[in-house]
Structures are given as C-alpha cells and as structure tokens.
C-alpha cells in the first residue's frame, strides 16, 4: 500500500499527518501544561508549531534547577536562508535568553554536498559562510554560542569515528532508508550528525542537551539517543523538541529550494519582492469578492498570511486575536491582512540586513576552527 505521506531527513512528500507521526516515531506530544512550565515561551511554542518532543520535560527540570544544560541545533547549508529555516534557531535563541545556557550550532556542508547532486564542494562552503552570517544576525549571545563547520572543525572527524564504530550498517539503513545508488557519504553522515547532537557533551561533559528541530530530523535523534549511553561515551540521552513545517506561501508542507523561489521569503529579499510575493502568492482564506468576504468572513486558520503572523511576526496575543476575529467576521479584508504581514516582514528584514552586516565583524567570536 502506498503511504499517503512520508517524512524522512531527505524527503517530505504528501500531506503530513502530525498526530500519526507522533505515534509512528514514538515521541510525546507537547502539552499545555508542559508549555506553562517554560519561562517566557516563544510564540512558536505557545501556538503549537512545536508539537512533539522527547524528554523536553527532563531538560526543563535541569534548567530550572540551575543544573548545567545546553541547546543544540544545526544548519545544512544547501542554499541561502529563508523564513522556514529560522524555526529551530528562533526557539534556540528564546530558550538561551530564558535559561542563559550555551547554544551550539553545527553547520553540515558535508551533508548537503553528499546529498544534493548539483551542489559543488565550493558552493556548499560558500553557503555555509553565507548562512553563518544570518545565524549570528539573529542575536545569539556572544561567548555562549558556538558555531562550527564540518569541513573545518577538527574534532568532527575523530568524534564521528568513535560514533560510527557503534552503528551497524543495517541500523543506518533501517533508520535512514539508504538506497543502493546513494554515494557512501550518505552512509557515514549519520555518525557526523550524531556527533553534532553530542557535541555539547563532548565539549563540557555529560549534561542535558535540548535539540529544537524539524520533525523530519527525528531519525538522527533516535539514533543518537540509542548510542549516547554506550560505555565508550557515557553521555546522557539528548532531549528534543520537534516542529511542524512552516508552510510555503502557496501552502506546501515544507519549504524547499525545489519549489519555486516565489513561494518562499528569503532573508535577502527586498521590500518590493516581499510585497510582490505575499500579494501574488500567499494562499488566502478570504472569499472571492469583497462583498462575499464582508458578508461571510474569511478563514484565518488556513490563511498563510495569518499563519505567518501567528507563528512568527505577531507576538502580542491580544493583537493576534483581534486580527483573527476581524478576518473571520469579514471586517478585515485579505488585502489588509496581507499588508499587516508585509509591514512586519519588511521591518524584520530591514533590521536583519543591518545585523547581518554587523555580524561580518564578529564571525571569529562565534566560529570554532
């Protein structure tokens, strides 16, 4: 029987049923009571984009008790960054602010070089350097945030080797669905990402690490949890918190470069481009004519502009609720809703571009060589 959807680290197809994934992967769902324990929870957490976890509660307990904890999430530099790529980093930053803990950010140029047929060795490295500037621009704490690239950080290879020895080929194949035609880089890479996930413990000794990440990355989490406590490592099992995919403007489940550029907002887009893309492509829950819309109202819950405000750009609950209600009643028109989002995104990107320029002066304070 053909599955109606499939989620792996390399491919996402079909309409994802997230409840089913929780069962299939054997993770826990993020509950209201769990969120209520988090200090200043980010809108991504409060409003449900992060929906699943593995032992986030245990990480929180240690964080709240003042024990050593860390956060880790990585970036596969396959292209320039768009809004969807920010999801794990925004939560990492928010938790760093709440708990004053270190954040580790590995950059996997090797992964993207192996997996993307048309990505050259040089391009993978160029995207790595480019993406690092966007990450620093998000405002992580200097001195408590460590970025390392797989091709230049020496401990990557030796520690991945220790891990590779603990993973059989058949385990890797079962977890990652490796295909006969895949180059052998794909086979080794899971050991590298398992190292990433344990990197804070290699660096600072055993403690709880939290990995905010898209649910497609859970196979790496599972694999790493299985080997973390092996007697040659003696680490703690890492915790994880998983997000759904931020829909693209046209409403696809996962933003990726294979979709047209038009359906994604890149961090490098000009104010004009943002305006054009949202107006032209953002899927609307509004009615076909203004008369109809005024009379029957729109559906904010399927409206991409509303969803972007909800998850990313409107932190104020009261303001968000007003937008929701006004759109539903027909008081707020689609063009007006889109304008609210356009202004928010452009204000964010204007700041981002400045901070990105500034980041160029500080790269060496974040990157480990």
Q: Which residues bind ligand TRP (CB under 6 A)?
A: 72-76, 106, 108, 111, 193, 196-197, 211, 213, 217
C-alpha 369/C-alpha 367 separation (Å) is 6
**Considering beta carbons, is residue 74 or 247 the nearer one to ligand TRP?**
74
Measured CA to CA in angstroms, residue 262 lies from 273, 282, 286 at distances of 9, 10, 21
Is the C-alpha dihedral spanning 60, 64, 68, 72 positive or negative? Answer: positive
How many CB atoms lie under 10 A from the CB of residue 255?
A: 21
> Which three-class secondary structure state does DSSP give residue 334?
helix
**Considering beta carbons, is residue 257 or 270 the nearer one to ligand TRP?**
257
The pairing of beta strand 208-214 with beta strand 69-72: parallel
**Considering beta carbons, is residue 197 or 274 the nearer one to ligand TRP?**
197
C-alpha 37/C-alpha 44 separation (Å) is 15
Q: Closest approach of Cβ 70 to ligand TRP, in Å?
A: 12
**Considering beta carbons, is residue 27 or 108 the nearer one to ligand TRP?**
108
Closest CA to 17 of 28, 31, 3, 30: 3
**Considering beta carbons, is residue 264 or 323 the nearer one to ligand TRP?**
264
**Considering beta carbons, is residue 108 or 263 the nearer one to ligand TRP?**
108
**Considering beta carbons, is residue 59 or 306 the nearer one to ligand TRP?**
59
Q: Closest approach of Cβ 320 to ligand TRP, in Å?
A: 28
**Considering beta carbons, is residue 224 or 334 the nearer one to ligand TRP?**
224
Q: Closest approach of Cβ 163 to ligand TRP, in Å?
A: 13
Q: Closest approach of Cβ 351 to ligand TRP, in Å?
A: 25
What pairs with residue 264 in β-bridges? none
Q: Closest approach of Cβ 59 to ligand TRP, in Å?
A: 15
Virtual torsion, Cα 298, 302, 306, 307, nearest 10 deg? 170
Q: Mention every residue, 6+ apart, whose C-beta is less than 8 A from residue 28.
A: 22, 52, 53, 54, 55, 56
Between helices 185-204 and 155-164, what is the axis angle to 10°?
110
Q: Mention every residue, 6+ apart, whose C-beta is less than 8 A from residue 302.
A: 251, 283, 285
Tell me the residue number closest to ligand TRP, measured at CB.
74
* Beta carbons of 328 and 297 less than 8 angstroms apart: yes
Q: Closest approach of Cβ 115 to ligand TRP, in Å?
A: 8
Determine the length of the chain: 369
**Considering beta carbons, is residue 96 or 108 the nearer one to ligand TRP?**
108
Virtual torsion, Cα 306, 312, 317, 318, nearest 10 deg? -50
Measured CA to CA in angstroms, residue 69 lies from 65, 86, 214, 229, 282 at distances of 10, 22, 21, 17, 39
Q: Closest approach of Cβ 48 to ligand TRP, in Å?
A: 21
Q: Closest approach of Cβ 285 to ligand TRP, in Å?
A: 29
DSSP state of 37: T
Q: Closest approach of Cβ 108 to ligand TRP, in Å?
A: 4
**Considering beta carbons, is residue 153 or 313 the nearer one to ligand TRP?**
153
Q: Closest approach of Cβ 295 to ligand TRP, in Å?
A: 44
Alpha carbon 97 to chain centroid distance? 18
């Amino acid at each position: 029987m053909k599955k109606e959807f499939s989620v792996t680290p390399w491919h996402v197809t079909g309409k994802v049923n997230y409840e089913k994934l929780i069962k299939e992967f054997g993770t826990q769902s993020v509950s209201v009571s769990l969120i209520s324990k988090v200090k200043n929870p980010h809108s991504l957490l409060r409003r449900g984009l992060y929906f699943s976890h593995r032992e986030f509660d245990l990480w929180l307990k240690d964080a709240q008790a003042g024990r050593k904890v860390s956060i880790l999430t990585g970036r596969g530099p396959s292209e320039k960054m768009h809004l969807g790529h920010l999801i794990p980093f925004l939560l990492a930053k928010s938790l760093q602010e709440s708990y004053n803990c270190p954040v580790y950010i590995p950059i996997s140029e090797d992964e993207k070089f192996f997996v993307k047929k048309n990505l050259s060795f040089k391009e993978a490295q160029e995207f790595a350097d480019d993406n690092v500037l966007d990450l620093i621009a998000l405002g992580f704490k200097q001195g408590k945030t460590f970025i390392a690239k797989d091709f230049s950080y020496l401990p990557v290879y030796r520690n991945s080797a220790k891990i590779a020895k603990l993973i059989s080929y058949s385990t890797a194949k079962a977890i990652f669905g490796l295909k006969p035609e895949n180059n052998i880089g794909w086979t080794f890479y899971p050991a590298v990402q398992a190292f990433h996930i344990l990197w804070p413990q290699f660096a600072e000794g055993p403690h709880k690490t939290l990995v905010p990440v898209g649910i497609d990355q859970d196979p790496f989490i599972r694999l790493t949890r299985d080997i973390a406590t092996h007697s040659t490592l003696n680490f703690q099992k890492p915790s994880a918190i998983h997000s759904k995919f931020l829909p693209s403007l046209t409403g696809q489940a996962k933003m990726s470069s294979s979709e047209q550029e038009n359906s994604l907002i890149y961090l490098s887009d000009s104010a004009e481009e943002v305006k054009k893309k949202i107006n032209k492509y953002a899927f609307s829950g509004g009615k076909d004519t203004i008369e109809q819309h005024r009379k029957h109202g729109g559906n904010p819950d399927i409206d991409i502009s509303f969803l972007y405000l909800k998850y990313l750009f409107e932190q104020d609950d009261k303001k968000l609720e007003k937008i929701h209600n006004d759109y539903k009643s027909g008081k707020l028109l689609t063009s007006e809703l889109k304008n609210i989002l356009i202004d928010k995104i452009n204000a964010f990107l204007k700041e981002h571009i400045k901070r990105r320029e500034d980041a160029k002066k500080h790269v060496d304070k974040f990157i480990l060589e």
